[in-house]
Amino acid sequence: MDFTYPTEIRFACSRCGLCCGDTKQRTRHILVLKNEAEKIASHTGQLVTDFAIEIAGNDPYIYEMKKTNEGKCFFLKDNQCSIYRLRPLICICYPFELKFNEEAGLHNFVYTLECPRINKGRFLKKTDFKRLLDTAQERLS
């Protein structure tokens, strides 16, 4: 599958948790696929409705993660993701986002500069983005 990605970009997550909650500049929408929500529910022993709300208009995402009163992800505990191995695709990809250009028939990775670790750490390679694309295809199938 063809895709584009940012070249000459560095990134290394510092697990600061910025992406896991609202900021003064941005309200987070942590979108969750149906199969992701079901796996999280099964693993945690909770109902999907305990940690997510159903949404419309964001296909293929049908849920949005609930937040604490502080505007943080429901599963962020002591600034750590308590479901890290099961975290949603949107979390796996951050600070990158995969968009599909229908006209060109091409997937494009874009990124946000709000993440303090963009342009810090190691240079990412095509294989890093290919791995993200493969994960996305797996979760979306």
Given a contact cutoff of 8 angstroms between Cβ atoms, the answer to whether 116 and 18 are in contact is yes
Residue 8: how many CB atoms within 10 A of its CB? Answer: 7
Average confidence (pLDDT) over 34-58:
97
Choose among 27, 20, 31, 88: nearest CA to 58: 31
Interatomic CA distance for residues 102 and 2, integer angstroms: 12
The ranges assigned to domains in the chain are: 3-140
* Residue in this structure with the two tokens 């995402």, named with its chain if needed: 61
pLDDT at 135 over 70: yes
The model's pLDDT over 65-101, given as tens digits with 9 standing for 90+, comes to 999 999 999 999 999 999 999 999 999 999 999 998 8
Give dist(CA 52, CA 15) in Å, integer: 22
